[in-house]
Amino acid sequence: MANILQPVRGTRDLIGEDAARHFHVVETARRITSLYGFSEWQTPIFEDTKVFSRTLGETSDVVTKEMYTFEDRGGDSVTLRPEGTAGVCRALITNGLTQTLPQKVFYAGPMFRYERPQKGRYRQFHQIGVELLGPATPLADAEIISMGWRILQELGIAKDVVLHINTLGDTESRAAYRAKLVEYFSKFLGDLSEDSKLRLEKNPLRILDSKDEGDKKIVADAPQMQDCMTDEAKAFYETLLGYLTAFGVPHQHNPHIVRGLDYYNHTAFEFVTTALGAQGTVLAGGRYDGLVEQMGGPAVPGVGWAAGIERLSMLIDAPARAALPVAVIPMAGDCEAKALEILTQLRAHNIAAEIAYSGNAKKRLERANKSGSVFAVLVGEDIKLKNLASGEQQDVTSEALPGLLRA
């Protein structure tokens, strides 16, 4: 017997209840973001490699260890997208939209990272995300955070989630903070992990997010951003927290939430849950005022977030099943044409309807019962509507059927 082909490691099929949960997350986010005036964009699944290497940082783990990068037949280096923000910002520039701001963007789709597969984490994974491009005010940050909170509420998981938020300060604040971190971590150079030694030279803020246990002990006593904040940066953060309170979003300050790249500033946040066992982030984002400019566009402020659909799907209850289709059953071979007319009529009235492709009337009725359908339309010389749960049936006309089935 030939070997059965299997899905590639780190990928999976979305079928049945898994698919229902997945699509429920996407549709909920699509509905809520539209209430806030966001429009859906779809960018290519693969981009010029520089779109990601330039924006994520040449020394980031994603670029050095996790990107699916290959040379196409034309000799160009392309990469399957590992995240959504860079592609949206690239699209903003190449479609000439930097002069028509703000742009309020929602996206949903697959992302790709080569990492160790584990529960809720795949090499092809899926995200929902938003980007608000143009406004530089803390109200914009507060609005997208409150929108994320509203989505979590609509999914029924907000009770198990806490918003952790921090400020990264402005450019002046970050420069002062970076200098303090370099001075502090240099004292522990022999004790830092190899990754953190490299980060000390190029990106010391990323040491704060190290998962190495030895690094964590050193980080515990590291200087905090609050010690380096300008008055303007402090005012931005305090105003943002005031807006979150006004929007009814509970939150707590967490000084350990960082974004290492220089184009991030001011806001960094994560919605965190303990419902998956170990503490885990389900939705995260921040402000990135320098990103569009770094990609070759003009200076365009931006703020956004992304959430993993797989992780959210694990937290939600299974959505209610859609109404099962009405079974249309020709009682004899010469009734099939009439049955097809009724089938077409019901679908034209947005009523789900199916017809078995083969078998006599008895077999078709048995299949309808096994499928869980509630009603069957029996098409013979007369038309009968049968309630499959109670067994009751009544004579009907084809014209009356849509009204009866919607009642």
Provide mean pLDDT across the span 201-226.
86
Whether residue 147 is found in the same domain as residue 166: yes
Whether residue 67 is found in the same domain as residue 163: yes
Instruction: Out of 284, 315, 346, pick the residue that ends a domain.
Output: 315
The CATH number covering residue 258 comes to 3.30.930.10
131 is in an annotated binding site: yes
Whether residue 360 is found in the same domain as residue 301: no
User: What DSSP assignment string belongs to 87-117?
Assistant: HHHHHHHHTT-TTS--EEEEEEEEEE--S--
Provide mean pLDDT across the span 17-34.
97
pLDDT band at 264 (very low <50, low <70, confident <90, very high): confident
pLDDT of res. 77:
96
84 is in an annotated binding site: yes
Q: 329 and 368 in contact (C-beta within 8 Å)?
A: yes
Q: Give me the residues paired with residue 106 across strands.
A: 40, 130
Residue 188 is assigned to a structural domain of this protein: no
Q: What percent of the chain has pLDDT over 70?
A: 96
Q: Is the dihedral of CA 51, 56, 59, 61 positive or negative?
A: negative
Whether residue 53 is found in the same domain as residue 139: yes
85 is in an annotated binding site: yes
Distance in angstroms (rounded) separating the CA atoms of residues 171 and 184: 20
Whether residue 280 is found in the same domain as residue 164: yes
pLDDT of res. 198:
83
Provide mean pLDDT across the span 19-44.
97
Range of the domain at 21: 16-170+230-315
Residue 148 is assigned to a structural domain of this protein: yes
Condensed to tens digits (0 to 9), the pLDDT of residues 109-129 reads 999 999 888 777 899 999 999
Whether residue 290 is found in the same domain as residue 346: no
In the chain, the number of structural domains is 2
Distance in angstroms (rounded) separating the CA atoms of residues 83 and 85: 6
Residue 180 is assigned to a structural domain of this protein: no
pLDDT of res. 225:
86
294 is in an annotated binding site: no
pLDDT of res. 307:
97
Residue 212 is assigned to a structural domain of this protein: no
The CATH number covering residue 349 comes to 3.40.50.800
Per-chain mean pLDDT for the chain: 91
pLDDT of res. 277:
67
pLDDT above 70 for 279: no
pLDDT of res. 274:
80
End-to-end Cα distance, the chain: 53
pLDDT of res. 61:
67
124 is in an annotated binding site: no
Whether residue 49 is found in the same domain as residue 156: yes
Condensed to tens digits (0 to 9), the pLDDT of residues 52-71 reads 988 887 656 677 678 999 99
Residue 166 is assigned to a structural domain of this protein: yes
Residue 210 is assigned to a structural domain of this protein: no
Whether residue 156 is found in the same domain as residue 299: yes
394 is in an annotated binding site: no
Instruction: Out of 282, 315, 348, pick the residue that ends a domain.
Output: 315
Whether residue 157 is found in the same domain as residue 51: yes
296 is in an annotated binding site: no
pLDDT above 70 for 2: no
Whether residue 310 is found in the same domain as residue 334: no
**Unique residue bearing structure tokens 């040379």:** 71
Burial pattern 252-264, b for ≥16 Cβ within 10 A else e, equals eebeebbbbbbbb
Element (H, E) at 306: strand 302-308
Condensed to tens digits (0 to 9), the pLDDT of residues 313-338 reads 999 988 887 778 999 999 988 899 99
Instruction: Out of 315, 349, 366, pick the residue that ends a domain.
Output: 315
Residue 345 is assigned to a structural domain of this protein: yes
pLDDT of res. 407:
65
Provide mean pLDDT across the span 92-100.
97
pLDDT of res. 126:
97
C-alpha dihedral over 366, 367, 368, 373, to 10 degrees?
120
Residue 216 is assigned to a structural domain of this protein: no
Whether residue 380 is found in the same domain as residue 262: no
List, as own/partner pairs, every contact residues 149-156 make where C-beta atoms lie below 8 angstroms and the sequence separation is at least 24, other chains included: 149/247, 149/249, 149/271, 150/32, 151/28, 151/29, 151/32, 151/33, 151/283, 151/307, 152/271, 152/282, 152/283, 154/28, 154/31, 154/32, 155/24, 155/25, 155/28, 155/312, 155/315, 155/316, 156/316, 156/317
Whether residue 379 is found in the same domain as residue 240: no
